[in-house]
Structure 1
Amino acid sequence: MDIEQKVALLRTTDLMGFLETPLLKQFAAACKEIALNSNEVLFHEGSMENAMYFILSGEIVIYKGIKQVAILTAGQYFGEMSLLEAKPRSASARAGTGALLMEITETQFNQRLISDPRSLASIIKTLSSRIRRDLDLMAADFRKLSLFMHDIKNCLTPLGLSEMYVEELIELFEGTSPGHKPREGLEELRKTFEVMHRTGDTLLTLVNQSLDHAKRLSMEYVKEKTAIAPLIQETVEGLSCHNYLKGKRIETNVASDAQEGVFNSLDIKRVLQNLIINAGYATGDNGVIEVAVKNKGPHIQFSVIDKGSGIPEEIRPYLFKDPVTTKKDGNGLGLLSCKEIVEESHDGNFWYESKVGHGTTFHFAIPR
């Protein structure tokens, strides 16, 4: 793009439209031009380049992990936060269908723009608009989620009725008079009922907690002394029919000095569920998943071990930052939930070890 075309485009913006034509020409001539092919990445989240960019043509996609944040087009600019804060990039940027950019370095920014109140006012206006848009989107998403949780609660009513029917069936299997012998399959039916009942209670508790959070009602976070081996057993039984775990064996190893802990049993069960399901996805047919628990100083350490293919190197930097998943039907929220429960709710630590081709172990340690 020639200088005259650049000046004509810059003239239409609040950022530099107030500059005299000779200054605009000088500025446009001094700035480096960058051409990006379709889907070519300009910078990654966390990188330290100190430059902002003005879009001359095409479009730029701003994204965090797998989530698209915005699409910017000709006449818009981005990357200014790295110059204002001198911090790593808060998101990644790539070309959409190709793009032509004008790079504004830190030196050019300080000399030409930040010293002029009109440029600062334009940047503040742009940032304010982006914040307002993000807040509106967050509010709309939160409302949709609250309505969704309310509807889920209504859907749990038939589950309660099913429990009643199963209870009646258990009574029939036990026998309707003292002389009757229990029917074959009674124990399996009882176990099925226990799993249904626990799952229903867990779902109802989670839904009520979510609705209370939406209403901004304060709730006490309860931590109680809990037997660890039975909790793991309940978790494994509840997951026995999961598609990722069929035909696979789950072994448990709870050390003799790690039989009990003080924690929120519902949330720790959620962590174990997420990790075991992930391990099941990574484990081949007839494979083995191990759940191990041991004391480690003042903490109890839980480990979920698989012998799968390991975590790809390219997604590791984003694993605990954004929703990232390799599963076709996944949403990438499981590990974020685990990390929040362990580190924020239990003051613990959550980490992993992985070797491509050899498997992955997720650990979490919480105070005893």
Structure 2
Amino acid sequence: MIAVVVVGIGVDGWDGLSPTAKAEIEAAQVLMGNARQLEMVPGDFERITWPSPMLPALPGLFEANRHRRVCVLASGDPMFHGIGSTLVRMLGPDRVRVVPHPSSVSLACARLGWAVDDVEVISMVARPVELLHPVIHSGRRILVLGSTPASVADLLSERGYGESKLTVLERLGGPDERVHTDLSYVDPLHILAVECVGTKVLPRIPGLPDEAFEHDGQLTKREVRAISLAQLAPVPGQLLWDVGAGAGSIAIEWARVHPSCRAIAIEHHPDRAERINRNTKTLGVPGVHVVIGKAPEALTDLERPSAIFIGGGLTAPGLLAACWDALLPGGRLVTNAVTMESESVIAAWHPKLGGDLTRIAINRGSPVGTFTGWRPHMPVTTWAVTKEAE
């Protein structure tokens, strides 16, 4: 049984609605939405303006009106960063009917002549501007929702993309629609279009240059990091623990693979933890959660992960056992050892759990007088093991 109808409405209001959308609204007994949306609709309804905060109040609102015909007004396409998605999660898909309106992204692409399937869309609504970093590449087109255009311009300039073209599209679909490049004043109802122009490349594939990270020497080197990430096998939506995170490079590269990849970096040195936070912002994954504490004690009460990387503290009593117990069935554990003591821990556990052992030896070319020679790095023993699925 349908409990609620969600109707998308644009800046053009009632006149821009389809006959189907108007009929759904006219059949309602209760109309919910924000004040601006409710004012756009004529008729004799009980009108409920969203309270603040809205999300905690929703279950009570719909329970109180469960025997009445409820219509919810939403901006544009309700299933695109909108209330429609929230209500489907809360009430179930069989109890929500959605009547969409063109989204701001569709309207913006229509005005700009951009293909919708060829743009990156980033929502800045209550989110940090640093989320833009992973999608900034020369020639790419980005649509930014809920941004402060000046902060986007500052980030682009700091990144070396100051020549990028920024276009503001205001009140799309309405009679006072405006498309311009003046960032000094921007209407709150806007979308920002960015055409990236620059040369600095930060690819999404794991193995960023070591100099991309701020660190004090506690950093999983580029080649070993790329191998470790391949063994960890990032999957969208899964959670990683980066234990003994150092500069946070493994957690950061995991999170950069896909926007839904989540990571917790556990680091017991407060100064390193602060450094991880700075690196997450610089590299566009400010959602990486940093826990300051010493493992295994710091692992208590954390959400169970699908993958664990142990970069430091492997010899701490009980650490490996705690990580293995916390790992979800089917999850992957990867640890690297550069000392005999750490290797002895791996040697004791490998016969019990199996997995793959790899010895990595890296030699980098460097000047030897006027010539070039090879300088070896300390060899790294990598152990990767998958926990059996239940």
> Shorter-chain TM-score: which interval?
under 0.3
Give the TM-score of the pair, scaled to structure 2.
0.26
Give the TM-score of the pair, scaled to structure 1.
0.27
Name which one, 1 or 2, has greater alpha-carbon Rg: 1
Name the structure with the higher helix share: 1
